[in-house]
Structure 1
């Protein structure tokens, strides 16, 4: 019996062999390469369109931390040191629709200093319904100067702002620590605002008593914003847990890319394992004091591409429970940022001015 030589797929002659009896006709090498190229194009188009979250979204779900950077020339940046690329409100509105989120909290970026023109414009765009009226779905976090007037505070309340932001990280800091005590009391007494704080969480223990002395609630950015690796017994993390237990601090599960730790990769998406460990600790410790935010458009991510649908799915991985996910995305955000009740609840949504 004559021995038939073995022909491997790497040999061009392999594609000239007749197909086995009963099999489908074999595609040519050219057709397979063409299909592979088409599949790559389709996958690239899906990536460009953005990921839709795997888990169904919930009515009233809130993105509690985004920034808006208007089109060039509309609003001037504070200086030339920090000039993020444009990320206008209309662009975020498309992201919000894709993710299925109802509500949003726009946070004043230090790029604009104490000028709130871009913030107010973004709130107006994101809070306008199809009929042109306010629908009560957007809130703002301002960044007011120690010399802010009562009139400016009232204007910001009318625009939908419910808190002021203390950005205490260099080089973006706008005020000094010595000014925070009086300003926290001022905005609380004048317009019943809370304080949103961003600082290196490793040193929260050093300002713990100061934060406890402020009259309102303190909203901590970015899962504590620990700019370095921390263990479970680190003083900053233990201080954060104590502040939560004292009913003083809330935490945003946002911006893991703000951490100084290097991300790992999960397919095409980054994973921030150390930060995610802290998120899980906080969820086990006090889920009633947490909200979720995308940190869109991720101004500190550098060249790392971050998909907000993927980040929203991470919340589902951390919680592993639909009730916890609802609490963080809907209930906690509604309480903290004073959103009106959903239409099917006791008090229907009325929109307009942020409640005091």
Structure 2
């Protein structure tokens, strides 16, 4: 339950101008703890990072839409995430952390509120692990949802790849499946990513990549991995800020700087539009 540092709250307005209907596909809201207590089984304790603060961030960055990924500090109590979803209406979608077994009628009601999937993690405690993979995949398929897979290390992707190939629903590899720059494009994990992308059910989320780099900003050692996945499946790439950057060790990135990496990652405006607008709008059910 160690405390983790909060975000850089002096968000710099980026030089890069987001296209209309851009989607930040990865952010968390925490608390306020007085209203939404943290889980006693959590592995970290964040600062309050509220919906109002997230909306201010989106407005500063020029991002029209967002996706709240339920944060591990709240365990399987999704109240804070659902509250954010209800208050922002059509501007955001949500990914929940919940074990399998919820009745279809309840899941349909959540879909109508804007929920689009489940997250599983080997990183944080108190949530849902990969023992629930197949059961949650069956539930996700019923409503056209997807699974968000949060690995602690890239080797875990290799271990679970055969199970992923058999899933009946789409799934997203969170944070580029935690493949570090020093592993490279010839690593078993990256070759597994390319193989899974070829199935048509796999997506890759480009978020929190500063954690995977061995170099300071702008983390150019990540570019071979980024450009290779974009070349392989430009229709399966999505992007996110990872605000408020929970359990990050080291200098806290400014989200304006993160946005300004976009033209470095994707110099082609058409690819930028795919990654920021078309692809996430299709995955999360936004009009565009």
Q: What TM-score do you get using the length of structure 2 for normalisation?
A: 0.89
CA distance, structure 2, for counterparts of residue 297 and residue 163 of structure 1: 21
Instruction: Please name the residue that 1:195 is paired with.
Output: 147
Match of residue 82, structure 1, among 44, 53, 72? 44
Bigger Rg over Cα:
1
Q: How does 1:278-297 map to 2 (within 5 A)?
A: 278-297=225-244
Instruction: Please name the residue that 1:110 is paired with.
Output: 72
Aligned 8 A contact 2:214 2:221 in 1: no
Q: What TM-score do you get using the length of structure 1 for normalisation?
A: 0.73
* 1:241 and 2:194 correspond: yes
Match of residue 216, structure 1, among 169, 191, 210? 169
Partner SS for 1:300: coil
Aligned 8 A contact 1:113 1:174 in 2: yes
Higher relative contact order (CA 8 A, sep 6+): 2
Instruction: Please name the residue that 1:334 is paired with.
Output: 281
CA distance, structure 2, for counterparts of residue 285 and residue 77 of structure 1: 40
Instruction: Please name the residue that 2:95 is paired with.
Output: 141
Instruction: Please name the residue that 1:31 is paired with.
Output: none
Match of residue 157, structure 2, among 181, 184, 204? 204
Once the two structures are superposed, residues 95-133 of structure 1 have per-residue CA deviations (whole angstroms, 9 ceiling, x without a partner) of 101111111011011211111100011112333xxxxxx
* 1:321 and 2:268 correspond: yes
Match of residue 301, structure 1, among 226, 233, 248? 248
Partner SS for 1:328: helix
Match of residue 154, structure 1, among 64, 89, 108? 108
Distance 1:318 1:227, change over 3 A: closer
Aligned 8 A contact 1:66 1:297 in 2: yes
Aligned 8 A contact 1:90 1:125 in 2: no
Instruction: Please name the residue that 2:259 is paired with.
Output: 312
Instruction: Please name the residue that 2:136 is paired with.
Output: 183
Partner SS for 2:33: coil
Aligned 8 A contact 2:121 2:130 in 1: no
Q: CA RMSD in A?
A: 2.0
Query: Structure 2, unaligned stretches of length 5 or more?
Result: 1-7
Q: Which runs of structure 1 show a deviation greater than 6 angstroms over 4 or more consecutive aligned residues? A: none
Match of residue 15, structure 2, among 49, 54, 58? 54
Aligned 8 A contact 1:51 1:310 in 2: yes
State the number of aligned residues: 279
